[in-house]
Amino acid sequence: MSTKIHAAGDALGNPLRLIASPGQRNDIAFAHDLVDGLVADAAIADKGYDADHLCAKIAETGAAIVIPPKRNRKVQRTYDQELYKERNLIERFFNKLKQFRRVATRYDKLLANFMGFVKLAAIASWLSRPARRQIEFYDPKKDCLMPQRQGACKFLIYASR
């Protein structure tokens, strides 16, 4: 019995949406639920989320697609490799989430109880961050690092066991 947690986060790595699924399901199965209603400048995800139907849904919102193409794609899509490095923010969120022993070992038998504690741990992770955090991003038009205000200018999607 394993559970996969799918998360969508903002530009600072804060969780916006958490969805649980069976561990044997693929990542793309719940991707549409993650991105529904989220508005951002860019959507960053790993290769598990590389699918034409998800890219089309993200493109409808006007967000840039920053998903590396799978190796077996016939037409390799380009993506911003510098912006893709920001995906580590959601990886760090999952690392903080797994610091809670109850989440890492999944003692709870019922999914509702487990997801309740996952959300409680996510809230604790969110509250432990400084209130005003300035981050920088690379602006290719100006060829320099630009300060970015706290907010959801991009979102990250990821799944972890």
Greatest Cα pair distance, the chain, in angstroms, is 53
Judge contact between 84 and 44, C-beta under 8 A.
Answer: yes
- Could you report the per-residue pLDDT of 54-111, keeping only the tens digit for each? 999 999 988 889 999 999 988 888 998 888 888 888 888 888 888 888 888 888 888 8
Global pTM value: 0.75
- Could you report the per-residue pLDDT of 5-15, keeping only the tens digit for each? 888 888 888 88
Task: Please tell me the least confidently modeled range out of 41-45, 49-53, 102-106.
Answer: 102-106
Which residues, other chains included, contact 146 with Cβ-Cβ below 8 Å and sequence gap of 6+?
136, 137, 138, 139
Judge contact between 145 and 136, C-beta under 8 A.
Answer: yes
> What pLDDT, on the 0 to 100 scale, is given for residue 68?
92
Q: How sure is the predictor about 159, in pLDDT bands with cuts at 50, 70 and 90?
A: low
State mean pLDDT over 47-51: 89
Judge contact between 137 and 70, C-beta under 8 A.
Answer: no
